[in-house]
Structure 1
């Protein structure tokens, strides 16, 4: 049924092929222009570091901009796969539909120190912290760029932007006109397809809409190579409507809806024989969002932006061994207003107000595995931020002071300031430094979780996880120093170093043992989340680019990370060793001819002993042929250097180890 559905969608997407095939005119002007503008990081534009557009070369943060052209040439079929190209990010796939993504340590399936945004809408899940990547998707062709800030972004974006910010920015409707269709099939990609159409209403109004579908095969279990039972399928659609009613105003309305099925194979524990067993976990998810935006320019030196959005998500997990269900629904209402004012030649102020209301409801009859103290919780965030950019010497010295003051219903008021310095000794060099404070507030799971049988110590002793209503925020003081240089017009080097001091980190602590007389006699050993860990991390991230010829460019990334933790945390060693010390990648992007291109990405990832993962080397290849002005054909091979390998384990207690397999797929892209 799945393959039939995919075939029908693919067929509808490819109906215009015959008419287009006769058009052999090949216009490379637009593609060459895109590559010339995007290949050099120093010349790229970034918004997320300061909430206004500026060049990467003049930014006082460790920032990387991944362009839409880069994403296409990488052969990525999902946003997490595309993020593997970003220096300093640790991207590890757990199974077919689950990733662990973090920066500067603390990686996990629920990595909770990275704030993820899409067009300014937060994707951070308030029920458990972190990002459910399988539910956060869009048409990759519609991604203009992905901006990644490594290091705190809390002064601009608020709590939970502790180790970094990922901002996915989609293209304007004006830049997505006409028809775009794509379809593909492969060894792991059972099939995928998408159609987008963009048009114009009147002189100043543009629109676009899209629909996409994909089905992905299962991975293999480590050791025996059996089916990991983690197949994944997803259907999504969306729209964007933009207009400029006056010369000073622009309006945007956009939204998405989606639904999908994502299975996983897990160990389940219960105080009943056989105590520990495999179980297939079918998970269904759905959701939608709508966002409105108003931009108004008062003068050339003053402008404002107002964003309003509503987001609904629903995740239902069926513990099939006992047919218990856990259903979580989250409704988020958000308002964000920002004003920017250039006071004179020396001061530029950016300030704003934010309000967020969240209604979260968890209904479960899976009491052994997942439950909350209260079925519903309403949360409010109120925030104010202010930043002043002071130019001490034009094109030489600039200092930035900013802070965000927030109030949340978990920990009350939080203050997150930062100070940054930018020095440009010459037009091709930049030195920057920063000191920042950021916090991560508790989530519903850390605060309200009542009981989860998460592990078996012996035949009659089980671990029972419990939330802690007394948790305080995790706190970070970060020190950063960076250097950028462009020795020639064909080479660039970007170095970022950091030293982070963490306080009040969440760790596992033991409670008192007790006996449950209502079940088979056993001892429950409660474990609770506590602020019982502290520590520091330090490291360096290096990115170099070389335009060997007009048709060939190279990019090399290297990341070094060291984590040192202390405290009373039972899980300290796992946390300390859940990120690789070393990562390296080399990307070769070559236009072999005007209608042929080849991209090769070689990656080395060091061992992750806290997750029982060895080091590995892998390579992805993509070859494309521009058959005509309107038709592009591509073949992509992924993880080509071995048959299969694991990248991360969800937990030593709860998830069998899945292995990412070698795969090949073919794709066709149409546009007219």
Structure 2
């Protein structure tokens, strides 16, 4: 089906391209606002005489000053108000659409490699782990989900897109394409006071393009290449009057993996599923068959969707923006469950509606996400229908040197698995469960002098589970030494929310007939789940030593506590009258005493060497430490429980046999039940480094424009080695020589794109990702990621 849509997309693009004409804006009629909205690529289309006129329009005295104006874009995510990027008191990056296209990124996640402080590692073709500064894998030795991006809040036009089932971002479910973006704004550091829970390590806000009078009626992007990779989008947008505009877009993405193999872990070794099943009389899950659970194991990602936009601007005091869309996504990536294989196939499809407006000074946002999510394909109980409602309202009050933005917000989330199980008890939640919270907030922005600025954001959130108020805050101060130098400091606190799996788990994983020593594992929720809290202190320095150079330095220290995780409680065995036994391992989400500390530094630089050459660079160094860590995996704890319990169980069965044969009394007749609640002692706790995130990573890229029509971009990206302990491998029991382990070597990859502009409407390009074909693993237990070679075109009319 996706190929049918692809052919229709290409036919539409080339049909419209027949009418494309060269159209460069006349410098004699262009406005100052239109010049400031340009990017460096658009500026390169003008000759020297025309550039001089553009300088006059914006009041720039030199070409370098004009470049500086185009580099120093405005940002809204850092403060919820539009402000200069240079003046922002937070660690903030703005990534423009033109920069993303020039770089050749094939997805939103890959584009984030250009942002300082974000570590990007590819798991399978097109599926990524994305973390701001890292510091996750809490607790160690547990499920891989704890090592993923569970502390970053992603938004689309201010609308949160977060998976509250397991907690985190399912990147393949973002219902927006690169072609629809105007820019990506990233705020590093705890930001719950501004945007609510789960903005612990930061916020990524994907901002879509506005439809204006000069917006192309039709725009399209397409590229295809190796690994059967097809990526494309097409948009039709029009401003019908000064008050009303509308548009619609369609996108698709299809990628194969570099392998058709799915692996499982057994005795700290990595096997294909066939090899795994040969070693076990029965598969650990009889559903774990490549052609059943993974109906197309070579397909890494398949995604398509449609979005519609409408804007109504009645007057300066009333404007409304409405967007809605539908998404269908399928990905083979790392598991978020407790399976024998670190691979997992996830399926999501559903729709969203988002309304934003400025209504006589009030800023309103109301949105609905309605999705069916299959967290583990064909595993009973892992399919849920989800509904998420968010509404927020704030108002900006301005005084002489002080502005105040009070606000209210409400969120309700529902997960329901009843229609996807045969019997109550087969599901993970076995009903319709809900999380709700409402919040009051206020942001204060005070300028006592032209150089000094203080900002405070306060938020208090009331949750229904646990039934408590949770405060968060953000205090910033900045001192503008002069127009080219800014000092800043931040102290902030943010928190995770409760997730469905933490609060409402009520699932029994039936293992009867397998090679396991237990017959079932029960996963239970917590009546009062804890919410992880992070405090951060950060200092920063932003400088423009030259008009064409911007340098940003940020040093940070984080301290986190109040973690919780799924841990074994007890082993229980029931004995039937015929002496058959049924053993269940009981687990639940419990609070943990562990604490995490992280410190690091990020440095970034943007430089325009000339009208033909641009350079961008960034690097991050960080270290994380964990105290009071339980240095055993859940499986090892369960093994200790069973080892301690087995002798007593043998005696109990013997005594029960004597009872039913009339040879002795037995108090627990007629059905005996025995349990062990063993937990390891203090000797098993230790302090250690958290090596799940590389200690160093960074990027260096340049864009060279030898002519007005040709531009060449290259980017080098490097990360240092890291070691991720998980349920498959722990720090206490590292395998001697496994095929794959939790150890990942450092990797350097080189990306390159060559783009030729046929005219202002059509560009063609070749695009190589990891051009040197360095095919080492990037994420623990996942695929070996090699080169991806593509060709395509961009079109607008």
Q: Does 1:206 align with 2:249?
A: no
**Conserved? CA contact 2:38–2:70, under 8 Å:** no
User: Residue 190 of structure 2: which of 138, 152, 170 is its match?
Assistant: 152
Matched with 1:514 is 572
Contact kept in structure 1, 2:135 and 2:598, CA below 8 Å? no
1:600 partnered with 2:702? no
Higher mean C-alpha deviation, range 220-229 or range 637-646: 220-229
Which residue in the other structure is 1:356 paired with? 411
Residues 198-207 or 23-32, more deviating:
23-32
Structure 1 residue 304, shift from structure 2 partner = 2.3
Counterparts of 1:101-120 in structure 2 under 5 Å?
Answer: 101-107=130-136, 110-120=148-158
Cα separation, 2, equivalents of 1:671 and 1:574: 54
2-side partners of 1:632 and 1:452: how far apart?
Answer: 55
Counterpart CA distance in 2 for 1:585 and 1:454 is 47
**Which secondary structure state, in structure 2, belongs to the residue aligned with residue 11 of structure 1?**
helix
Pairing partner for 1:442 from 470, 476, 498: 498
Cα shift at 1:517: 6.4
SS in 2 for 1:549: coil
State the Cα deviation string for residues 124-146 of structure 1 (Å, max 9, x = none). Answer: 11211111110103131221111
Query: Which consecutive residues of structure 1, in runs of 5 or more, have no partner in the other structure?
Result: 271-275, 298-302, 650-655
The correspondence for 1:578, drawn from 676, 688, 692, is: 692
* CA offset digits 1:634-667 (Å, max 9, x no partner): 1110012235222113xxxxxx521222111111
5+ residue gaps, structure 2? 28-33, 44-65, 137-143, 264-269, 274-295, 634-685, 725-741
Q: Which has the larger radius of gyration?
A: 2
Query: Structure 1 residue aligned with 2:470, among 395, 398, 414?
Result: 414
User: Cα distance, 1:310 vs. partner?
Assistant: 1.4
Shift of 1:467: 3.1
Q: Could you report, residue by residue, the CA deviation over 1:282-314 in whole angstroms, capped at 9, with x for unpaired residues?
A: 5431111111222135xxxxx321111111111
**Corresponding residue to 2:230 among 178, 191, 202:** 191
Task: Say whether the 8 Å CA contact 2:127–2:301 is kept in structure 1.
Answer: no
Q: Residue 448 of structure 2 aligns to a residue in which SS? A: strand
Cα deviation, 1:24-60, whole Å, max 9, x if unaligned, reads: 6777988993227887797221111111011121111
Equivalent residue, structure 2, for 1:166: 204
Q: 2:181, 2:472 → 1: CA distance?
A: 30
Render the CA deviation track for 1:56-110: whole Å, top value 9, x for unaligned.
2111111111111111112122211111111001122222353221112245654
CA shift digits 1:435-482 (9 cap, x unpaired): 111111220112222347699999526876543333222111111100
Distance in 1 separating the partners of 2:411 and 2:613? 47
Whole-angstrom distance in 1 between the partners of 2:774 and 2:351: 37
By percentage of residues, which structure has more strand?
Answer: 1
**What is the rounded CA distance, in whole Å, between the counterparts of 1:512 and 1:568 in structure 2?**
20
**Aligned counterpart, 1:539:** 600
After superposition, residues 409-558 of structure 1 pair within 5 angstroms as 409-411=464-466, 412-451=468-507, 460=517, 465-507=523-565, 509-515=567-573, 524=585, 526=587, 528-558=589-619
Are 1:34 and 2:89 counterparts?
no
Question: How far does residue 329 in structure 1 lie from its aligned partner after superposition?
Answer: 1.5
In the comparison of the two structures, how many residue pairs are matched?
Answer: 649
C-alpha contact (below 8 Å) 2:153/2:161 kept by paired residues: yes
SS in 1 for 2:779: coil
Do residues 381 (structure 1) and 453 (structure 2) align? no
Q: CA deviation at 1:589?
A: 1.2
Whether the 8 Å contact between 1:185 and 1:192 is mirrored in structure 2 is yes
Q: Deviations along 1:524-583, whole A, 9 cap, x unmatched?
A: 363644233112111001101221111111111110111111124346999922211100
C-alpha distance in 2 between matches for 1:488 and 1:252:
40
Backbone CA RMSD of aligned residues: 3.3
From the superposition, tell whether residues 532 and 424 of structure 1 become closer, same or farther in structure 2 (CA, over 3 Å): same
| Structure 2 contact 627–688 (Cα < 8 Å) conserved | no
Asked if the contact 2:491/2:536 (under 8 Å) is kept, the reply is yes
Distance, in Å, in 1 between the alignment partners of 2:719 and 2:701 is: 15
Aligned pairs (5 A) from 1:557-568: 557-568=618-629
Q: Is the 8 A contact 1:42 1:56 kept in 2?
A: no
Distance 2:501 2:337 in 1: 19
Q: Which structure has more helix as a fraction of its residues?
A: 2
Are the aligned partners of 2:226 and 2:789 in contact in 1 as well (CA < 8 Å)?
yes
- From 458, 479, 495, the equivalent of 1:403 is 458
Match of 2:755 in 1: 624
Query: Aligned equivalents of 2:689 and 2:323: distance in 1?
Result: 39
Please, what TM-score do these two structures have when normalized by structure 2? 0.75
More displaced 10-residue stretch of structure 1: 105-114 or 42-51:
105-114
Length-normalised TM-score, structure 1: 0.89
1:131 maps onto 2:131 in alignment: no
Taking a change above 3 Å as real, the CA distance of residues 28 and 232 of structure 1, as seen in their structure-2 partners, is: farther
Q: What is the aligned partner in structure 1 of residue 664 from structure 2?
A: none
Deviations 1:396-443 (A, max 9, x none): 111112200111112320111221110111110000001111111220
